[in-house]
Amino acid sequence: MIQSIVPPYLLARIAQAGESAMPRAAAAAERALVSDIPLRDAREARSASPHTAPIRAVPSSPTAGTPHNLTRAPQPHRTVFDAKNSEDLPGTQVRVEGGPAPADAAANEAYDALGATFALYQEAFGRNSIDDKGLPLLATVHYGHDYDNAYWNGERMVFGDGEGEVFGRFTASVSVIGHELTHGVTQFTAGLAYEGQSGALNESFSDVMGALVEQHLKKQTAADASWLIGEGLFTAAVKGRALRSMLAPGTAYDDPVLGRDPQPADMAHYVETSDDNGGVHLNSGIPNRAFAIASTTLGGFAWLSAGQVWFDTITGPLSPTADFAEFAAATVTASTKRFGADSTETSAVSAAWAKVGVLRGDSAH
């Protein structure tokens, strides 16, 4: 299953509008759109068996000298490769778990963010890697020439370097790496179909966990967090903060070349479209905002409150074709089970979904 961080509608806009203002970016966006077609085809081919583990898991082992009934906490198993601006995967191995850091910022950023993602899932949710069985975390950097994207292909993370006019290197954003690896978590759990509302939920859950990876790494409370996905990807020439804003969908960028962020913030502005697999990157703004509202209402560290609810939901009895209403109801059920029906957590979750128009305020429970 292959999902990329930059939506096709944004690449199409850059390819069209940037021809005169940013010719290198326009050419790179056009190439990304063309090269991503076989990736999307491969994603569809793989989606028939979303729970299949493609890579052998590495089991945790007790630390030497540790009593047999006390096992060491799971540890990540990271390997980073360098494609050297080719499109051949995996590339040349440049860093392994516990090995020395090379003189390559992209390789080290990828390695560190893989670790930050592993840490969130292990420390906050007790999950051993993205498949909960110690799956090795693989990444390839310097993919393609001026490649304007990053993606999860069902086995590894792949990062382009950007073209330097609109996008810089895609390893620069921790939230992007957390987002893409979380597509793997969804692959091994709910297996949300990548189209329509279930696809938007797939994208949204990746944004949720991408934001939490960054917050967990920086020890940020919900109030202190930026709630931005892809902050740091744009160059200084772009009038924008990030690819998406979870707290305020539709406000992440407003630029002559990129246009204005088109994400809706509520169901009243839901976008009906056949593009982008039925608007998976567009309408994900609605459940994104519900999570951000619930988290900021509750305060404190979001991974301890709303994050627990969303994680319980994605790993619970959820239909692969769940729509927003089914997912929202499932979060209320998950919150009730974990925190209680009359808890502040359940009230905040219910109210957040009502705020974005998915649940009615008087029927959220």
Catalytic residue among 77, 142, 216, 281: 281
Q: How remote is the C-alpha of 85 from its chain's centroid?
A: 24
**Closest Cα partner for 132 from 124, 143, 121, 148?**
121
Q: For residue 197, what are the CA distances in angstroms to 44, 69, 134, 255, 296?
A: 17, 45, 30, 28, 24
Catalytic residue among 163, 180, 195, 203: 180
* CB-facing half-sphere around the CA of 19: CA atoms within 13 A: 6
State the Cα–Cα distance between residues 107 and 89, nearest whole angstrom. Answer: 15
Q: Are 146 and 69 in contact (CB under 8 A)?
A: no
State the Cα–Cα distance between residues 8 and 12, nearest whole angstrom. Answer: 6
Paired tokens of 210: 């991408």
281 as an active site residue: the answer is yes
Q: What is the 3-state secondary structure (H, E, C) of 221-276?
A: CCCCCCCEECCCCECCCCCECCCEECCCCCCCEEECCCEECCCCCCHHHCCCCCCH
State the Cα–Cα distance between residues 163 and 179, nearest whole angstrom. Answer: 21
92: left (phi over 0), alpha (psi -120 to 50) or beta: beta
Beta strands in the chain (DSSP E): 3-4, 78-82, 92-96, 137-141, 150-152, 157-159, 228-229, 244-245, 254-255, 259-260
Paired tokens of 359: 């649940």
**Closest Cα partner for 7 from 149, 139, 154, 141?**
149
142 as an active site residue: the answer is no
State the Cα–Cα distance between residues 318 and 296, nearest whole angstrom. Answer: 25
Q: Radius of gyration over alpha carbons of the chain, in Å?
A: 20
Contacts within 8 Å (CB) and 24+ apart, 94-102: 94/141
> Which residues have a catalytic role annotated?
180, 281
